[in-house]
Structures are given as C-alpha cells and as structure tokens.
Structure 1
Amino acid sequence: MTKEKKVNRKDNKGKVLRKGESQRKDGTYMFRFTDECKKRKSIYAKTLAELREKELKIKRDKMDNIRLSVDYTVAQLVELYLSLSQKNLSFNTMESNENAYRNHIKNSWLGYKKIKDTKKSDILLFYTELSEKLKNNSIHSIHRVLSQAFKLALDDQMIRTNPTYGALKNFPADTEEKTILTPQQLNDLILYVKNHPYYYRWYPLIVILSETMIRGGELCGLTWDDVDLKRKTIKIDHQIQYCKIKGKGKHILCICPPKTKNGKRTIPLTTKAYKAFIKQKELQFSLNLYSTTVIDGYENFVFPTRRGNPTYTMALDNMFRNLTNRYNKENSEPIPRLSCHVFRHTGCAIKAKDFFKLGLDPKILQTWMGHSSLTMTLGLYNHITEIDTQNAINELNSMIG
C-alpha cells in the first residue's frame, strides 16, 4: 500500500502556506506558535510577506531566549518597575517616579505601546512632544523612570535592546544657577528676623539651617536626642517627609532615611549654630512650644508647631515666602525668594569660600553636606558673585602696590 503524498495548503493566490500559517476568511493571515511556557499564541498580518517578517522575528527571539510569553505595554512595564523598586529608593525619588508615570506615561500613546514594538524613534518622538510643555529637567525625570523600566525588561530577556539608550542626547539638562544670598544679605536678614515682632521665633531655625547646611526634611526631623550640646554636634540619620497612604490618596508625616547613603552623618556645630540651639530651647520654654507628637517612634522634636506637631518642609517654605515678601516691602535692597534649599545653598557657598581661604580639606565640607561626591559640593555650591570678583581685584591690586 503506497503512502499518499501530503497536499500543501495554499492561500487564495496560490502561494504555499508553511507550518503554522493559515489564511482567514477575510483574507488576512495568521501564524500560530508556542511560547517558552508551551502556551499557544497567534499573530496576524494583512499580507503573507508581512506575516513572514513577524515569523522571522519570533524565530530570532526564540534563538536569543527572548521571552515570548510576556507582552507588556510600556505602562504595564513601568508599573512593574515601580512596584519592584519601592524598597530601594528614597521616598522623594519614589514620589517623583510615580508622578512622572501618572502624569506623563500612563495614559500617553507611548504608555499603550507594546514594549517589543517600541523603538528609539518612539522614545525620541515622545520626548520631543513633551519638550513643547516641559523643561528638559522634567524630561530627565521621566527618562529616568523609562530607562530603568526598560533595563528591567532587558535584564529579564523581555526585549533585545533598550530603546531609551542615548535618547537624552538632544535634551541637555537645564543649567539653572542655584539661588543664594550674599553674606551681607544673610546677616541683614538674620538681624531683621531677630528683631521682628512675629518672625523672631524663626530666628534660631534660620541660623541653624544656614550654619549646619542640613536639608529641610532633616531639620524638621531633628529631635533633642539628636542634638548633643556638650559635644556640640548634631546627628543626622533620618528626615521627616509627607508620605502617601496607598489606596487612600492621603499623606501623613512619616520618618524616612536621609536622601542619600552619605546623608547619615554627624555635623559639628559652629558657635553660631550652638547659640541658636540654646536660643531655641529658651523660645520653647517662653512660648510653650513643646513637641507632643510621636511619629514612627521619634518624639521631642526641636522645631514643633504651636499644636505640638513637628513642622515640615512645605510649611517652612510657605513661611519663607511670606517672610521674603515682608522683608522686600520694608527694605530697599530686595532679596531672592527664600526656601530651605536657599539657606542650605547659601551656607555651603559661604563655607566653601572660607575653606578655600583657610586651606582646609573640602572633603570635610562634603561630609557635612552629605553629598555623594566632592564635585557636587564644589561645582554646585561654590558660587562667584560680583562682590567676590571685586574683592579678588582689590587684593591683587594691594599685592602689586
């Protein structure tokens, strides 16, 4: 008995169809295959040529061990990355990443695109569209989220290449000069606050911010247990932030680790800072400002509100904005808008110049600031003002005679 010859299947144009290929009733084509999990999958195309291009890609993915069972969209991939990175990132970074995803990625055309179909040109187009309404620094924040998410996909063999690599080349970071006060402006402001009938209660806080150069969240989280007046040091190992309660859309004050790994540090107090802490103790007694709240086991905060709660950065910045407006109305020489960061930058800029004049090791200043690199300390904070330039010329002229 002879074996019957297998008849090749053909489409309506007479072209022979390969294993797994078929033509549908509407004339389009389908290819069925199994992924690495032994699950049946199908792809579709309008023409046989287009279908076979997709088949080649699938075969190549199989040869390179690319996972065919995963079919995430960009938004789904970012959600996965955010859920996996929560424990490794600071609260501020996590909040920034979630805002970037929620406001710019989740419901965008890129968010709906499959990660396997996303090309570098798609990322560039997305950033170009964003650049019409956002600054480049905001695009950098969005890029940080996308690049890390696609790196996760690459490491997990979901994709062959990371389409975000090199996508920021045409979007350089915005170089905005950090706002600082001159030494004279700082001294005039401190004197103004010290003698003001309302703002006098913030006098120690402003001195401590500018002298210790700690971050706003670190200042708000300071407890008297962190202040050693005998040794004249303060210990920084935590900060206070507004933390979001998942699923409720609310925020509460919570204790978080410092912004960076180098943020945990012990800072020696200058004479001005030491006296400011003494003054804060006196003000707490005279104004009956005592900390009555316990947050994550921390209590006895150095800067409580009238209700006994620890203050927080946003509240301080609001107060500083009002102080700026009041000061500029009552003085002929205006000052830039004040914030916790302005006092930190100002303190570092002044100290950096003092360190240079005295020949001190700038790495000491880096440690006090809690920076991860010396370049950040000197590059971002060692400002040159017109007064500095004039003083340099005067000193050179005096040397020449």
Structure 2
Amino acid sequence: MGKDLRGREIGEGIVQRKDGLYSARFTNKSGKRVEKYFDNAADAKKWVTISRLEDDKKPATAIEYSMTVDEWFVYWIKTFKQGLSPNTIRNYKDRYYTNVQNHIGKMLLIDVKAMHCQQILNEMQADYAISTVYQTYICLGSMFKSALLNDLIPKHPLDAVNFRAKKVKTPRRVLTVEEQEKFLEFADKNHNAKQFRLLLQTGLRTGELIGLTWDSFDIENRTLTIDKALEYRHERGYWRAGPPKTMAGFRTIPLTEEAFDILYGLYQKRHTRKESMALSQVLTFIDPRTGLERTVNMKELIFVNFRTGEPIKNSTYDTNLYKICDKAGIKPFCMHALRHTFATRCIERGVNPKSLQKILGHAQLSTTMDTYVHVTDDSLILAIRQFEAAV
C-alpha cells in the first residue's frame, strides 16, 4: 500500500511525493508501467481504478501490438526460458543487452524487419568472433520464433536475413589411454588429484563437482546424486548455486570402486579439514522440478581448498590442469575434457550408449553420441581386433 508524507496508507499504487503531488501508477497487461500525477489522493485513486478497468477491456491485439522488443525479451526470458541453465540464460542476456538492445530494444515488436536484424549481424562480424555472432543469431531466432508462435508478429524477421555462417565447432579434446595414464601420474602430485580422478570415473561437469555436498554421497548404496551445481562469478565476486544444466541432469549414478574410495576417504576426514568463513554462506536457488526454493549450506561441500579452507573456484581447476599438462609434456586441456574422456572410455569398454546417456545427464541420446563420444586411434584398433576375434 502507498503512503502519504505523514505515513498514512492511501491506496495501492499511490504515493505522495515530497513536492506534495500524488503519484498514481499501475502495470498494464503488456507489462508496461503507467504513471500519472495528481493534486489529491482521491483523483489518483479514481484514475488508477478507471485505468485498470479500461486496460482489462482492451482487446488482446491492442495489448500485444504495443509491446516493445525490450518488454518482450524480459517476458520471454522469464516465461519461456526458465528451464535452461543459468549459463545459457546469461548468454542470452549478454548477447541481447550487448548487441541487440541498442538497435531494436525500443522498437515495437511488430515493427522489427529483416533489415534491422541484418544490420545487427553485419556490424558484429567486423568486431566479434563468428561464434559470438552465431550466438546472437540464435538469440534473435529463438526470441522471434516464440513471438511468432504466440501470434505477436505476422512473420519471422530472420527468414529474410542473409546469414550463412555456422557455429564453428572446435575439435573436442579427449585424452588417449596413454595420455590419461601420463596425466594421472603427474596429477597425483597435485592437491586436487582426487577431483580429477573422480571426473574420470563419473563424467561430472565442473559445476556439478563443485556443488557436491555430503548428502549427495550415499555410502550404503554406493551412489552419487547430482541435483545442483555451483560456480564462482568472477566479474561480481560471488558464488552462485543453481540446478544442473538440464532436467535430465538431475540423476543418481552408481560409483566405481575408485570413485567410492575417493569419496569415502574424504568423508572419514571431513571433521579434520580446514574451513574458512566463506563456508558459512547459505546459497539459494529455485528447483525447476518443484518450483520451490532450495538451500545449499557451503559447510557441507565435499571439496574445499586444503590450504585456505575455501570453496575451490572453477578457474583454479583449469589453472591446475595447465600446470600438470606442462609438467607431463602433453597438450593442454580444460576440465570439460575429462568429461569427454570419461564418455569415450565408456564407449570403448562397451558401455551401453543409453546407460551412458543417463550417467552423463543428457536429455537426448544424440547429444551423448555426437558431442561427448569420440573415436580415438586406440578405439579404432580395438574395433578391428574385436572384429578379428569374432571371425
């Protein structure tokens, strides 16, 4: 409820300003805030009541066609993209607010034409990597496709855009069996060796590894439940919790003997490790399965920095990996390469692809096979040997 200068309640959406005028405001159907000023509270209340009634009577087309691109983007992200991972949503927002908003943000959604989108992409190609331009193209395409399916625009503006560049797929880094053995030989001298070995036994994503808490580890059933992820946001200097990347990312996987021994050894020593004040944080996020808020007590994290007692940042792991690769004399790789390597080893050893899909937390089997499973020279040789043995 709004208040006047004496602190008395004067009605919803109404507040008295310091100059004595009464500000009356409400949010219409299209999500736009409408505001007007009056000399007295009675006129302000009357205007809000009448304006809301008139807004309710407006035909849908009048409301929809008055929506700006900015308004639609905010509504689209909030309504249609909430099931995506925080990283994906952040990428959409980065591309929109950095490259799209200045061009068409204030335009009416229905007025956007192919030439406006073409100009955005053309200007970007002079200053950005083609992969970033492609991300912007995907953002525009998805946003306008949703508007088209909801009858907010008569046709898709990107249909007439000339953009042939495709996302450049860099070769996925996968360790050969020899490289993996050499890596582990030198990794065992690193304080994060247990984490590296665990990834090669489970195929977890880095954020899932960081977000593991003791309630994730079921000692009796020898399983690991993945139901959250953590990441450190360097540009703002804070930790953020969230759900796994996709709904299929919520999973419980059985542990290998080595993975179980790693976690059980840490569990037995959990009360003797160093813990900093940073672990006193309690993070929250919305669980997309229930729509309810969940909490993550960082004191319960399985992995913390042995020296500082703080949570281990994403970048720290990659820095460690580069140093290990340098000492081992192998081509550098990032944390995600360990996930690729796990998936490839599974296929090489005859793991059923459908089972691997569930272990990795993929919604589609094609993602597992096309993106994460790689045919190495070793696997080709093994395939021929298997063929020979069968003959």
- Shared fold, TM over 0.5: yes
Q: TM-score, normalised by structure 1?
A: 0.69
Q: 1:182 to 1:166 in 2, by over 3 A?
A: farther
Question: Deviation of residue 105 (structure 1)?
Answer: 1.2
Q: Which runs of 5+ in 1 are unaligned?
A: 1-36, 38-63
| 1:98 matched residue in structure 2 | 93
Asked if structure 1 preserves the Cα contact closer than 8 Å seen for 2:65 and 2:110, the reply is no
Q: Aligned partners of 1:279, 1:189: CA distance in 2, in Å?
A: 22
| 1:280 matched residue in structure 2 | 266
| 1:267 matched residue in structure 2 | 253
| 2:3 matched residue in structure 1 | none
Alignment of 1:212 onto 2:208: no
SS state of the match for residue 158, structure 2?
A: coil
Alignment of 1:173 onto 2:167: yes
Q: TM-score, normalised by structure 2?
A: 0.70
User: Structure 1, residues 234-270: CA drift from partner, whole Å, max 9, x if none?
Assistant: 01111113469xxxx8352232111101011001111
Q: Aligned partners of 2:64, 2:346: CA distance in 1, in Å?
A: 57
Q: 1:212 to 1:399 in 2, by over 3 A?
A: closer
| 2:5 matched residue in structure 1 | none
RMSD, aligned α-carbons = 3.3
Alignment of 1:130 onto 2:136: no
Alignment of 1:295 onto 2:291: no
Q: 1:224 to 1:167 in 2, by over 3 A?
A: farther
SS state of the match for residue 250, structure 1?
A: coil
Q: Aligned partners of 1:399, 1:372: CA distance in 2, in Å?
A: 34
Q: How does 1:108-257 map to 2 (within 5 A)?
A: 109-111=103-105, 113-155=107-149, 157-165=151-159, 167=161, 170-194=164-188, 196=189, 199=190, 201-242=191-232, 250-257=236-243
Question: Deviation of residue 395 (structure 1)?
Answer: 5.8
| 2:346 matched residue in structure 1 | 351
Question: Deviation of residue 364 (structure 1)?
Answer: 0.8
Asked if structure 2 preserves the Cα contact closer than 8 Å seen for 1:67 and 1:157, the reply is no
Asked if structure 2 preserves the Cα contact closer than 8 Å seen for 1:237 and 1:263, the reply is yes
Q: Which runs of 5+ in 2 are unaligned?
A: 1-29, 31-58, 284-294
Q: Aligned partners of 1:387, 1:155: CA distance in 2, in Å?
A: 48
| 1:43 matched residue in structure 2 | none
1:78 alignment partner, one of 64, 73, 77: 73
SS state of the match for residue 155, structure 2?
A: coil
What is the percent sequence identity of the aligned residues?
A: 23
Question: Deviation of residue 76 (structure 1)?
Answer: 4.7
Asked if structure 2 preserves the Cα contact closer than 8 Å seen for 1:74 and 1:112, the reply is yes
SS state of the match for residue 375, structure 2?
A: coil
Tell me which moved more, 390-399 or 148-157: 390-399
Q: 1:168 to 1:262 in 2, by over 3 A?
A: farther
Q: Aligned partners of 1:260, 1:72: CA distance in 2, in Å?
A: 30
Asked if structure 1 preserves the Cα contact closer than 8 Å seen for 2:208 and 2:244, the reply is yes
Q: 1:165 to 1:280 in 2, by over 3 A?
A: farther
| 1:342 matched residue in structure 2 | 337
Q: Which has the greater radius of gyration?
A: 1
SS state of the match for residue 252, structure 2?
A: strand
